[in-house]
Amino acid sequence: MFLPAFLDNGAFIAFLRSHPLFAIGLMLIVGYLLARAAGAIRLPEITGFILAGMFMGTGGLAILGKGAAEDLAVITEVALGIIALTIGGELRLAKLRRVYRSVGWITAGQFIMTFGVVAAALLLLAVPMPFALLLGAIATTTSPAAVIAIVQATRARGPFVDHLNGTVALGDAVSIAVFGVILAMVPAMLGDASRASVLVWRSLADLGISLALGAVIGYLIYATTRRQSNPGEVMILTLGFLFLSTALAVSLRFSPLLMNMAAGATIANLSAGNTRIFRTLEPLTPPVYALFFVIAGTKLNPGLLFGPEVLVLGAAFVAARWFGKYFGSYLGARIGRSDPVIRNWIGVGLFAQAGVALGLVLLLQAASELGQIGPSAGLPAALSSDMVRTATNVVLLSIFVNEISGPPIAKFAISRALNLEE
């Protein structure tokens, strides 16, 4: 008699909706089914995972309770840690020496043009200078998770993939650094230069510490695993240090992305044999990446993103970003004398946008809550609150568009470039 009554009053369903294991199981199963459906119409699996999240999130059928979504935040941190470590592992000096000139020019070209075009477009639409510059910095980011997932799924190799991975890694590192400096300079833009100088130096110090701590973590992973022959033991030690690194970065308000990228780059450059460390993590990536993209999809609520102001600013943001990514990369590749295949297609592979951009928006919200953007910085409270909310929705709209359209476009660009390289 207990079970039917328990079911009748809805307590059982409410319990399931709030239980993280129920959420994880449902995300994996629904994500798998929609990923297969996406594959059947020649879309990347990522698209299916994101649609699964939208379907189950508050913007869809609200199958997942709010408590469950909050409990799963640690999965996002784990996924970003693995992604950052993996993409840092692509920064091998031996490999970069062959392409450093062209990767450097491509990174500079796409960053400068994307930042400049997006900021200028938003200024023309009467967005205040500080927010236009911050959104310009956010626009320069590319989703490393999408790029890595597509490269792994297609088993793509070659000069184009080397250039793409290098550009994504260096570009996101520069984006995070520039965003932090601009955020620290907001008081100066609003008339408080003395306070801004302290914040700028603090921001630069945080970036330097993130890279230094990442290098130490990378060395510790190398030192503790170099004599281990058992892949399981290598995986245990690597994940242990990776989790400690991510937790340390989050708790101290450093950049977990930069810290783990530095760890990955350190591991890759200490020994050519350290590729085995990254290979031990490969069996974990399918479920972790699936959950990462499903969780990202739950945060996208189309109903909140299509107000008139957000639509206008979001359309300008997306269009200007695409323009800057493609033509900036093209110009940089021409200056760097890259192969025509790389020159014509690498910009198309940089459209996807997700985790890094979302992380920077959260930093913007935190800065507003801490008073770095607000009355204490010289900006009226109402304007600060409204602009932070608008900026957040503009970036979420961009993520919505670019995470649906970006992966299939990137997959097409990679396939096309590889066919032309053969």
pTM of the predicted model as reported, rounded to 2 decimal places: 0.70
**407: helix, strand or coil:** helix
Q: What confidence tens digit (pLDDT) does each residue in 240-276 have?
A: 999 998 888 878 877 777 788 889 888 888 876 667 8
Q: How far apart are CA 236 and CA 259, in angstroms?
A: 19
Q: Higher-confidence residue: 174 or 387?
A: 174
Give the type of residue at 58: T
Q: Higher-confidence residue: 332 or 404?
A: 332
Give the type of residue at 247: A
Residue 233 contacts residue 276 (beta carbons within 8 Å) = no
Q: What pLDDT is recorded for position 200? A: 66
The first and second tokens of residue 48, run together, are 């299916």
Q: Higher-confidence residue: 7 or 40?
A: 40
Q: Higher-confidence residue: 103 or 239?
A: 239
Q: What confidence tens digit (pLDDT) does each residue in 185-230 have?
A: 766 665 555 555 666 677 777 778 888 999 999 999 988 888 888 8
Q: Which CATH number fits domain 73-145+160-283+305-421: 3.40.1670.10, 1.20.1530.20, 1.10.1200.120, 3.40.50.10320?
A: 1.20.1530.20
